[in-house]
Amino acid sequence: MAFNVGNTVSEAVDRLTTSAAAVLIAALTVIGVAQTAALQDILRGFLEWTVEMLHDPEVSGELSASEIETAEEQINAYIADLPLALGLSPGAAAVLWLVAFVVSLAVVAIAIDAFGDERDSLGGIPTDGLGRKTLHLLLGWIAYSILVAIGFLLVVVPGPLVAFLLMFFVAAIVIDDESFISAFGSSYSVVRGNLLGTFAVGVLGIVAFGVCWLVGTTFAGILPGASGAIAADLITAVGQVFVLALLTRTYVNATADDTADSVSSGSEWAAETESESRRGTR
């Protein structure tokens, strides 16, 4: 189950230069913009509710008129600084965010499939089972988030350790067509068999995504209005695609020996069976 970290990183970088990666980055950017817009609408709804509360007799009785006016001006300034807000109600915005998240999981499945087979384009990628894989990715993310949260809150098992041990479950679901439960086990096996290599990959993935997020946040602060928010989502999408390529190539390379051993064992078994059959015939 050993793999070469340098070669794996090189493969991930190569995947990032393909037309498939460009399409995936574009798709994740659109999804990211939709999710950002939904979150801004949810925030806008909360801020508007806060303004209404300022005029509630129970609240206004504890504040002076100048304090209420100052708070209202500050809140309205925050509302005006939400360039992607669509004017949806918080409930509708929450539904939009959830739908966008599920669609993003389908895109993740397509990305892992493409990177696993080292496809340069998305043409010809089989879509059979995409719904099932997306469902298990969704269930897996829910379970993964709960386990990591429990690790952080109860410190039974540290959250970062859980995240590290299970970080390849998305690749196992898509590449090996596993359920999210068995994918957790596959991820654990890969990490346990390659502690140093997978740790290096995990750190690199975090650093790469963190840099993209930081650069995106910087652009969001520099560029005005919606252009800054869209630029941030675009740069973040680049980081997401690179991390997906890195995790996928790591999983493929780390499990390649298992596949080879399985094929080899099958060939040896077939050869032995044929030999015994010949002896029996004689």
pLDDT in tens, 105-122: 999 999 999 999 999 998
Structural domain contains residue 269 = no
Q: What is the pLDDT of residues 5-41, one digit of tens each?
A: 899 999 999 999 999 999 999 999 999 999 999 999 9
CA atoms 126, 129, 135, 139: torsion sign: negative
**What pLDDT does 155 receive?**
73
Residue 136 domain-assigned (yes or no): yes
For residue 280, being part of any structural domain is answered with: no
Q: Higher confidence at residue 128 or residue 175?
A: 175
Q: Which domain holds residue 48?
A: 8-261
pLDDT at 61 (0 to 100):
66
Residue carrying structure tokens 């509302």: 79
Quick check: is 1 in a domain? no
Tell me the per-residue pLDDT of 176-235, one tens digit each, with 9 for 90 and over: 999 999 999 999 999 999 999 999 999 999 999 999 999 999 988 888 888 989 999 999
Number of structural domains, the chain?
Answer: 1
Whether residue 275 lies inside any domain: the answer is no
Residue 39 falls inside a structural domain: yes
What is residue 271's predicted lDDT score, i.e. its pLDDT? 42
pLDDT beyond 50 at 280? no
- By the 8 A CB rule, do 50 and 63 touch? no
Which of 233, 242, 258, 107 shows the shortest CA–CA distance to 176?
Answer: 258
Report how far residue 169's alpha carbon sits from residue 210's, in angstroms, rounded to the nearest whole number.
Answer: 21
Asked whether residue 231 is assigned to any structural domain, the reply reads yes
Instruction: Give the pLDDT confidence of 49-80 residue by residue, as tens digits.
Output: 888 887 777 666 667 778 778 888 888 888 88
Alpha-carbon torsion angle 109, 140, 6, 23, nearest 10: 20
Structural domain includes residue 143: yes
Residue 257: pLDDT band with limits 50, 70, 90 = low
Q: How many CA atoms lie within 13 A of 67 on its CB side?
A: 7
